[in-house]
A and B are shown apart, each in its own frame.
Chain A
Amino acid sequence: GQSLEQPSEVTAVEGAIVQINCTYQTSGFYGLSWYQQHDGGAPTFLSYNGLDGLEETGRFSSFLSRSDSYGYLLLQELQMKDSASYFCAADTGGFKTIFGAGTRLFVKA
């Protein structure tokens, strides 16, 4: 079957760096996206990796290795407002996107 695996929870302190990993197994693959979702809210798009390598957007960076079927989201200079759930999502083609189960990030003071 098709699946994405990511840790269920991560805890870090304010100002620190945290990495959320995502491994995927899909029949087709065009790219990996990351979304942030605060409790009670809708997901918001953070980044997309279509090619191998690192994409940087401010405090957030995302990495993809197609050969390893692996990616990660890196959050730097953590802030309390970064406490949320983070989902990786695989674009499998033809408008088919599969979401991981999400990683709940807790940022402590």
Chain B
Amino acid sequence: GAVVSQHPSWVICKSGTSVKIECRSLDFQATTMFWYRQFPKQSLMLMATSNEGSKATYEQGVEKDKFLINHASLTLSTLTVTSAHPEDSSFYICSVTGADYGYTFGSGTRLTVV
């Protein structure tokens, strides 16, 4: 299956600053990557579908100007949380679909905004 690396694994930032999260597909060319947000003890909520070389597709209710997604290559997608606020504190996870069924997830990024 695919191997996905996500960085950083955790980050603490001040309110109003921006944070960039990287998701790399190490052994698989991923034309499509997915970004999820997960609050404690809750399910994964799809935020957006990242498409290589084109604009991301955002789910309803997700602010595209706040959560900037760039998928400039077949192995890298980035999620930038702009002007972060405490309510943005969450666990952010990326995933790719490999050749087999199912998604391979990155290790996740725990964002804490203080």
Contact = CB atoms under 8 A, between A and B. Distances in A.
Interface residues of B, number: 22
Given A41-B108, A43-B93, A45-B1, A97 B103 contact: yes
Contacts of B97: 95
Contacts of B42: 101-102
Given A42-B93, A50-B101, A100 B43 contact: yes
A101 B43 CA distance: 4
B71 to A, nearest CB: 14
The main secondary structure of chain B at its interface with chain A is: strand
A42 B101 contact: no
Contacts, number: 47
Contacts of B107: 41-42
A41 B110 CA distance: 10
B48 to A, nearest CB: 11
B104 interface: yes
Contact of A87 (B41, B44, B104, B108): B44
Contacts of A25: none
Interface of A: 31, 33, 35, 40-45, 48, 50, 87, 95-97, 99-102, 104
Given A35-B102, A99-B44, 9 more contacts: A33-B101, A43-B93, A43-B103, A45-B101, A45-B103, A87-B43, A95-B32, A97-B103, A101-B42
Interface of B: 1, 6, 32, 34, 41-46, 49, 93, 97, 101-108, 110
21 contacts: A33-B102, A35-B102, A35-B103, A41-B108, A42-B6, A43-B93, A45-B1, A45-B101, A45-B103, A45-B104, A50-B101, A87-B43, A95-B34, A96-B46, A99-B43, A99-B44, A101-B42, A102-B41, A102-B42, A102-B43, A104-B41
